[in-house]
C-alpha cells in the first residue's frame, strides 16, 4: 500500500519501493529498478552487471513542505559498446542527472511560465541548474518524438537577436515548415552561420532550398557559398522597413530645413475672428512621423488628413512616401507582376535625386532575386522575429542570464513543437 501511495506522486513508475525514512526535514525513499539486469545508461541495452556503487540520491518532487529524495545503490553495467558505467534507473534521465524525471518535467514546465526568481524559490533549486534541466528535458522529448532536428530542412530562417546587454547577440535558425527552432548559438556573423552548416550531413545540407533572412551581407555571402542549391529570400518586412527608415531620415531633414526657413510675416492688426494666423513652413511637416510610416489602410481618422499636407511640405518628402509605398506594393503583387513592378521601382529610385532612396536602390538591386523570391510562396522571417520576441521575454523573466547556454536551452524548449507537460496531467 505504501509503495503505490508514493510511486505516483514521486514519479517512480517502473521501480520497487523498499522503504521510507525521515532524515531531518527530508524524506528518503529507498527504491530499486524492477528489472534486476542492469541497463546501459547510454544505449539502454541489458548488460552483465557486477559490483555495487555507493548509494546516491535523486531529488524528487516535494511531499507537502518536505524535500523528498529517491535513494538507490546502482550496480555497474558492462556494456560491450560503451564500457563499464553505472546502471540506468527508470526514474531519472541518464547518469549525469541528480533529479528524477518528474522533478525535471515540473521545473521545465515552470521555466516556461514564470520568472526565474520565483521558480528557484518554489522548487528550491539554484537558477543555474535550470538550464541543464531544460536541456535534458528537450533532448528526451526530441528523442521520443523520433524526428531528428536537422532532418527534412527545406526552408529555414536565419536572424540574430539581442540576448544580453553590451551588444551581445544570438544567432537563431528556424525551420519554416515545422515552425520550430532547430539551432541557436551565441554571437552573430559568418562564423556562427558556418558552424550551423557544419552540423548537418551532406544529404541534410543539400535539402535546404530557401534561406530567409533580413538581407545582411554576411548571410548573403554564406548562402552564396553554401549550402549547394540554396537560394536567399530577403524578408519583405526588413526590405520595407529599410525604405521606412530612409523616409524617416528624409522627414527629419525636411523638418530641419523647415525650421530654418523664414516664417511669413503677419499683416497689421489681429487676425479676424475665426481666421487663422499664417503658418510657417515647419507646420506642414509637424505630425507626419507616424502617418508616413504606417500603412495607408491602418491610418486613424486623425492621421489620414495629415498626409494631405505632403504637397505643401515638399516634393522630396512626397516622392519618398510614394517610393516607400511602391516597394511595399511589390510584395503584395501577383508573382507574374512582381518582377515588372520591382524593375520600375528601381528605375524610379535611381533617378529620384533623394540620396537615401538612391542608396536603397543599390542595395535592393544587388539582392533583386532574393527580394522577389518571397513573392508568391510567402516565405518571410516572421517566425524568426516571433522567436526573437520570445527570447526577449525569457531574458526578462530570468532577470538576465550569466550563462548563455542556459538561455539557449530554454529557447530550444520554448520555441519548438516539443513542450514539456506537468507530471500526472493528461498528455504527460
> CA 114, 426, 44, 198 torsion: positive or negative?
negative
Average pLDDT over residues 301-311: 71
Range of lowest pLDDT (86-90, 111-115, 331-335, 387-391): 387-391
Q: To 5 degrees, how large is the angle CA 422–CA 132–CA 170? A: 105
Asked if 107 and 159 sit in the same domain, the reply is no
Give the model's pLDDT for residue 105: 92
Query: Does the pLDDT of residue 44 top 50, yes or no?
Result: yes
Distance between CA atoms of residues 250 and 185, nearest Å:
37
Query: Does the pLDDT of residue 330 top 60, yes or no?
Result: yes
The boundaries of the domain holding residue 63 are 2-145
Tell me what the pLDDT averaged over the chain comes to: 82
> Considering 145, 177, 192, which residue would you say is the last residue of a domain?
145
Average pLDDT over residues 283-299: 78
Asked if 113 and 202 sit in the same domain, the reply is no
Q: What share of the chain has pLDDT > 70, as a percent?
A: 89
Give the model's pLDDT for residue 398: 63
**Considering the domain boundaries, does residue 72 fall inside one?**
yes
Average pLDDT over residues 19-25: 90
Asked if 11 and 64 sit in the same domain, the reply is yes
Relative orientation angle of helices 404-414 and 382-397, to the nearest 10 degrees: 130
pLDDT tier, 278 (very low <50, low <70, confident <90, very high otherwise): very low
Asked if 251 and 222 sit in the same domain, the reply is no
Asked if 72 and 100 sit in the same domain, the reply is yes
Q: Which cell goes with 188? A: 552573430
> Considering 78, 112, 145, which residue would you say is the last residue of a domain?
145
Asked if 331 and 364 sit in the same domain, the reply is yes
Residue with cell 527530508: 26
**Considering the domain boundaries, does residue 44 fall inside one?**
yes
Query: Does the pLDDT of residue 48 top 60, yes or no?
Result: yes
Asked if 141 and 189 sit in the same domain, the reply is no
Asked if 348 and 256 sit in the same domain, the reply is yes
Give the model's pLDDT for residue 142: 80
Interval 160-203: pLDDT, tens: 888 777 678 888 888 888 878 888 888 888 898 888 888 877 77
Q: To 5 degrees, how large is the angle CA 235–CA 239–CA 242? A: 140
Range of lowest pLDDT (99-103, 144-148, 276-280, 307-311): 276-280
Greater pLDDT, 428 or 175: 175
Average pLDDT over residues 379-405: 74
Greater pLDDT, 103 or 270: 103
Asked if 248 and 204 sit in the same domain, the reply is no
Query: Does the pLDDT of residue 215 top 80, yes or no?
Result: no
Residue among 409, 411, 404, 374 at smallest CA distance from 389: 411
Asked if 102 and 141 sit in the same domain, the reply is yes
Q: Do 184 and 173 form a contact (C-beta atoms < 8 A)?
A: yes
**Considering the domain boundaries, does residue 425 fall inside one?**
no
**Considering the domain boundaries, does residue 267 fall inside one?**
no
Asked if 29 and 52 sit in the same domain, the reply is yes
Distance between CA atoms of residues 229 and 223, nearest Å:
9
Sheet containing 83-86: which strands, arranged edge to edge?
A: 48-52, 75-79, 83-86
Greater pLDDT, 204 or 197: 197
Cis peptide bond prior to 365, omega within 30° of 0: no
Distance between CA atoms of residues 409 and 183, nearest Å:
10
Asked if 194 and 251 sit in the same domain, the reply is no
Query: Does the pLDDT of residue 269 top 60, yes or no?
Result: no
Average pLDDT over residues 215-232: 83
pLDDT tier, 266 (very low <50, low <70, confident <90, very high otherwise): low
pTM exceeding 0.75: no
Distance between CA atoms of residues 227 and 209, nearest Å:
9
Give the model's pLDDT for residue 52: 87
Average pLDDT over residues 370-393: 77
Greater pLDDT, 409 or 76: 76
Give the model's pLDDT for residue 275: 46
**Considering the domain boundaries, does residue 241 fall inside one?**
yes
For residue 163, the domain's CATH number is 3.30.420.10
Query: Does the pLDDT of residue 317 top 80, yes or no?
Result: yes
**Considering the domain boundaries, does residue 273 fall inside one?**
no
Domains identified in the chain, total number: 3
**Strand, helix or coil at 422?**
coil
Q: What share of the chain has pLDDT > 90, as a percent?
A: 16
Q: Do 408 and 184 form a contact (C-beta atoms < 8 A)?
A: yes
Distance between CA atoms of residues 120 and 268, nearest Å:
74
**Considering the domain boundaries, does residue 275 fall inside one?**
no
Distance between CA atoms of residues 244 and 70, nearest Å:
60
Query: Does the pLDDT of residue 359 top 70, yes or no?
Result: yes
Listing DSSP states for 29-89 in one string gives EEEEESSSS-B-TTT--B-EEEEEPPPEEEEEEEETTEEEEEEE-PEEEEETTTEEEEPP-
**Considering the domain boundaries, does residue 266 fall inside one?**
no
Interval 74-111: pLDDT, tens: 988 888 888 888 888 888 887 778 899 999 999 999 98
Average pLDDT over residues 240-265: 82
Amino acid at each position: 500500500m505504501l509503495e503505490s501511495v508514493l510511486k505516483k506522486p514521486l514519479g517512480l513508475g517502473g521501480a520497487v519501493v523498499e522503504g521510507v525514512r525521515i532524515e531531518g526535514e527530508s524524506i528518503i525513499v529507498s527504491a530499486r529498478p524492477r528489472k534486476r539486469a542492469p541497463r546501459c545508461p547510454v544505449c539502454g541495452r541489458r548488460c552483465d552487471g557486477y559490483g555495487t556503487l555507493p548509494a546516491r540520491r535523486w531529488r524528487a518532487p516535494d511531499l507537502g513542505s518536505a524535500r523528498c529524495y529517491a535513494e538507490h545503490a546502482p550496480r555497474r553495467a558492462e556494456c560491450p559498446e560503451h564500457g563499464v558505467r553505472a546502471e540506468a534507473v527508470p526514474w531519472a534521465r541518464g547518469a549525469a542527472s541528480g533529479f528524477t524525471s518528474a522533478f525535471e518535467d515540473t521545473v521545465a514546465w515552470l521555466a516556461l511560465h514564470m520568472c526565474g526568481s520565483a521558480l528557484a524559490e518554489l522548487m528550491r533549486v539554484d537558477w543555474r541548474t535550470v538550464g541543464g534541466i531544460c536541456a535534458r528535458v528537450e533532448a528526451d522529448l526530441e528523442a521520443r518524438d523520433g524526428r531528428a532536428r536537422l532532418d527534412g530542412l527545406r526552408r529555414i530562417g536565419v536572424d540574430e537577436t539581442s540576448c544580453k546587454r553590451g551588444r551581445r547577440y544570438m544567432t537563431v535558425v528556424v525551420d519554416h515548415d515545422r515552425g520550430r527552432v532547430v539551432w541557436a548559438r551565441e554571437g552573430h556573423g559568418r562564423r556562427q552561420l558556418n558552424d550551423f552548416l557544419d552540423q548537418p550531413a551532406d544529404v541534410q545540407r543539400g535539402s535546404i532550398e530557401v534561406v530567409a533572412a533580413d538581407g545582411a551581407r554576411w548571410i548573403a555571402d554564406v548562402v552564396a557559398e553554401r549550402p549547394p542549391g540554396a537560394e536567399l529570400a530577403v524578408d519583405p518586412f526588413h526590405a520595407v522597413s529599410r525604405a521606412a527608415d530612409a523616409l524617416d531620415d528624409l522627414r527629419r531633414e525636411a523638418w530641419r530645413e523647415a525650421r530654418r526657413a523664414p516664417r511669413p510675416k503677419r499683416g497689421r492688426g489681429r487676425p479676424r475672428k475665426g481666421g487663422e494666423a499664417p503658418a510657417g513652413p515647419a507646420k506642414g511637416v509637424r505630425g507626419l512621423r507616424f502617418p508616413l510610416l504606417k500603412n495607408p489602410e491602418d491610418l486613424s481618422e486623425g492621421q489620414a488628413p495629415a498626409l494631405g499636407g505632403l504637397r505643401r511640405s515638399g516634393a522630396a518628402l512626397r516622392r519618398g512616401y510614394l517610393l516607400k509605398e511602391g516597394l511595399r506594393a511589390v510584395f503584395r503583387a501577383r508573382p507574374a507582376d512582381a518582377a515588372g513592378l520591382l524593375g520600375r521601382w528601381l528605375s524610379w529610385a535611381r533617378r529620384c535625386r533623394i540620396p537615401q532612396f538612391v542608396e536603397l536602390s543599390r542595395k535592393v538591386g544587388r539582392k533583386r532575386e532574393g527580394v522577389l523570391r518571397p513573392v508568391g510562396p510567402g516565405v518571410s522571417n516572421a517566425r524568426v522575429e516571433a522567436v526573437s520576441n520570445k527570447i526577449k521575454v525569457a531574458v526578462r523573466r530570468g532577470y538576465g542570464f550569466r550563462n548563455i547556454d542556459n538561455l539557449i536551452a530554454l529557447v530550444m524548449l520554448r520555441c519548438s513543437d516539443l513542450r514539456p507537460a506537468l507530471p500526472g496531467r493528461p498528455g504527460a
